[in-house]
Amino acid sequence: MSKDIIQFPKNFLWGTSTSAYQIEGGITNDWSEWETSSERKKKLQKQGRDLEEYICGKACDSYNRYEEDLNMVASLNCNAYRMGVEWARIEPEEGKFNEAEIEHYKKVLDEAKKKNLKIVLTLWHWTNPVWLANKGGWTNKEVVNYFTRYVSTVIKELGDRVDYWVTLNEPMVHVSNGYLTGEFPPNKRNYFQSRKVLNNLAKAHNKTHKLIHQFYPDSWVSITKLTNDFQPARKWCLLEKGLAKLFHYNWNEKFLRRIKDHLDYIGVDYYFHDRIIRRPPFKKNKNKQVTDMGWEIYPRGIYNTLKYLSKYKKPLIILENGLADAQDDKRSDFIRNHLYYVHRAIQEGVDVQGYFYWSLLDNFEWAEGFWPKFGLYEVDRNTFERKPRESAKIYARICRSGKLEI
Q: Give the residue, chosen from 270, 366, 377, 395, that forms a contact with ligand FCB under the rule CB under 6 A.
A: 366
* Closest CB 252 distance from ligand FCB, rounded Å: 14
Candidate segments 54-62, 137-145, 168-176, 201-209, binder of ligand FCB by CB under 6 A: 168-176
Give the contacts of 170 (CB within 8 A, at least 6 positions apart). Answer: 126, 223, 224, 225, 226, 269
Phi, psi of 276 (to 5 degrees): -90, 130
Hey, CA dihedral for 394, 374, 111, 163, is it positive or negative? positive
Q: Give the residue, chosen from 24, 69, 170, 240, that forms a contact with ligand FCB under the rule CB under 6 A.
A: 170
User: Of the two residues 229 and 269, which places its CB atom closer to ligand FCB in the complex?
Assistant: 269
CA atoms of 387 and 16, how far apart (whole Å) = 16
* Closest CB 246 distance from ligand FCB, rounded Å: 22
CA atoms of 52 and 35, how far apart (whole Å) = 10
For ligand FCB, the binding residues in 220-279 under the rule CB under 6 A are 226, 269
Indicate whether 19 belongs to the interface with ligand FCB (CB under 6 A): yes
The one-letter amino acid code at 208 reads: T
User: Of the two residues 346 and 360, which places its CB atom closer to ligand FCB in the complex?
Assistant: 360
User: Of the two residues 355 and 358, which places its CB atom closer to ligand FCB in the complex?
Assistant: 358
For ligand FCB, the binding residues in 89-128 under the rule CB under 6 A are none
Q: Give the residue, chosen from 66, 356, 358, 395, that forms a contact with ligand FCB under the rule CB under 6 A.
A: 358
Residue closest to 318 by CA, chosen among 305, 328, 308: 305
Candidate segments 33-41, 106-114, 149-157, 358-366, binder of ligand FCB by CB under 6 A: 358-366
CA atoms of 272 and 299, how far apart (whole Å) = 9
User: Of the two residues 27 and 346, which places its CB atom closer to ligand FCB in the complex?
Assistant: 27
CA atoms of 289 and 266, how far apart (whole Å) = 28
Asked if residue 310 lies in contact with residue 316, where contact means CB atoms within 8 angstroms, the answer is yes
Candidate segments 39-47, 81-89, 109-117, 166-174, binder of ligand FCB by CB under 6 A: 166-174
* Closest CB 22 distance from ligand FCB, rounded Å: 6
Candidate segments 158-166, 169-177, 215-223, 260-268, binder of ligand FCB by CB under 6 A: 169-177
User: Of the two residues 32 and 233, which places its CB atom closer to ligand FCB in the complex?
Assistant: 32
User: Residues binding ligand FCB: what is the number (CB under 6 A)?
Assistant: 12
For ligand FCB, the binding residues in 31-90 under the rule CB under 6 A are none
User: Of the two residues 6 and 290, which places its CB atom closer to ligand FCB in the complex?
Assistant: 290
User: Of the two residues 31 and 358, which places its CB atom closer to ligand FCB in the complex?
Assistant: 358
* Closest CB 359 distance from ligand FCB, rounded Å: 7
CA atoms of 391 and 406, how far apart (whole Å) = 16
Asked if residue 267 lies in contact with residue 225, where contact means CB atoms within 8 angstroms, the answer is yes
Q: Give the residue, chosen from 16, 139, 169, 222, that forms a contact with ligand FCB under the rule CB under 6 A.
A: 169
* Closest CB 367 distance from ligand FCB, rounded Å: 10
Where on the phi/psi map is residue 180: left (φ > 0), alpha (ψ -120 to 50), or beta? alpha
10 Å CB burial of residue 312 (0-12, 13-18, 19+) is: middle
Q: What is the 3-state secondary structure (H, E, C) of 97-149?
A: CCHHHHHHHHHHHHHHHHCCCEEEEECCCCCCCHHHHHCCHHHCCCHHHHHHH
The residues pairing with 265 across neighbouring beta strands, listed in sequence order, are none
Residues in contact with ligand FCB by the rule CB under 6 A: 19, 22, 169-170, 173, 226, 269, 320, 358, 365-366, 374
